[in-house]
Amino acid sequence: MARLVMKFGGTSVATVERIKNAARHVKREVEAGNEVAVVVSAMSGKTNELVAWCKEAAPLYDQAEYDTVVASGEQVTSGLMAIVLREMGIPARSWQGWQIPIYGSDAHGSARIVDVDGAGIIAGFDRNREVAVCSGFQGVHAESRRIVTLGRGGSDTSAVALAAGLKADRCDIYTDVDGVYTTDPRIVPKAKRMDKVSFEEMLEMASLGSKVLQVRSVEIAMTQRVPTYVRSSFDDPENPNPGTLICDEDDIVEQQIVTGIAFSRDEAQITLRRVADKPGVAAAIFGPLADANINVDMIIQVVSDDQATTDITFTVPTADYERARTLLESKHDTISYQEIQGATDVVKISAIGVGMRSHAGVAARAFRALAEKGINIRAITTSEIKFSVLIDAAYTELAVRTLHSLYGLDAG
């Protein structure tokens, strides 16, 4: 007998018929003798509808009341799932985040999980193997007793945190894909589903553009060592595919040098030309951006021939491009740059793999291959297990296919 958490995303519970299909997956695990907690997202499209209502009610709406409204989507789904399971003869009840409770910080709209008290759910397991159907994406702030939400994609985070709190044997994330692929199969038809991927690799993939899992959910899985599967809810409930296991690096017997290729179109480039090369200039640029909660990613600094000025290039999320540019223009006299340039038609391509730790020249091969395809690299960043290049968006598919083939991910 195992204890597990099963999470179903918005597309998996988009209609009552799909909720019934998801319930059949739950029934399979219950009949196998397992203790099961289920975490559900809102039905597909419902959260966007609720957000739109908040904006219609007041452009500058109160964040605490916003959380009250948007958390209701998951409440509907959890109730429907419990009804369906009970109709199947499976003991079940719905739990809202505040009932479990999942305690969160008071950052309404983007709260972080502080603690999970799963005693009530465990009591239900002990009493009659009752399935707990939990509303994802939400928790409660202990002091104010107000509902808080965890940000978009927060149901993944809820599920992994609940698995940690319940000391579950694993967490199964059911979505509309049957696992984690070496890259987007829509761009590279030869992309392969991976049987296993390490926590570190998955964290890099999630942060670099892969939409399979929310970044914070992977962080929790890694720190709490929660084995996590990505599986498809659209598989036959009686004979599902195994999916992809996200686990410790030590649990993977054979590692490729490069595990996957990720890409992100949510990138914009800003370049400040001929900035005075003096102490404090970097702080003058990036301090105000940080204060404005604008995340800066790739940074390149090139000193000019006169060694008195420098060019600084960096990237920001596309949604923050205009705001960042306006802010820097307002700081022109403080920063002392000659010209500001920008581009939004760029994409970040990344290669990820723990095998890079022990192999030299991995990135150099990519640079050579991209050059042979006539693809110019605007910026480069590296870390121990990944490297990223910024290129023109028009070359996205060519670059992804080139790197996917270069590292042998087409094979097998």
> For residue 397, which amino acid is it?
E
Rounded-to-integer distance, Cα 196 and Cα 255, Å: 10
Strand boundaries in 192-345, DSSP class E: 196-198, 228-232, 244-247, 260-264, 268-276, 299-303, 309-316, 339-343
Element (H, E) at 287: helix 281-291
Closest CA to 31 of 69, 88, 114: 88
Identify the CATH number of the domain defined by range 255-412.
3.30.2130.10
Residue 251: per-residue pLDDT: 82
Angle of the 199-207 helix axis to the 215-224 helix axis, nearest 10? 160
Asked whether the domain spanning 255-412 has the same topology as the one spanning 3-249, the reply is no
Which residues contact residue 220 at a Cβ distance below 8 angstroms, ignoring those fewer than 6 apart?
A: 113, 157, 160, 161, 164, 226
Residue found by looking up tokens 């296919």 in the block: 401
Check: CB of residue 242 under 8 Å from CB of residue 196.
no
Residues of the chain with pLDDT under 50: none
Closest CA to 51 of 67, 38, 35, 33: 67
- Under DSSP, is residue 392 helix (H, G, I), strand (E, B) or coil? strand
Per-domain boundaries in the chain: 3-249, 255-412
Rounded-to-integer distance, Cα 369 and Cα 358, Å: 21
- Under DSSP, is residue 137 helix (H, G, I), strand (E, B) or coil? coil
Residue 276: per-residue pLDDT: 84
Check: CB of residue 146 under 8 Å from CB of residue 101.
no
Phi, psi of 226 (to 5 degrees): -100, 110
Can you identify the CATH homologous superfamily of domain 3-249? Answer: Acetylglutamate kinase-like (3.40.1160.10)
Q: What's the maximum distance between 2 C-alpha atoms anywhere in the chain?
A: 79
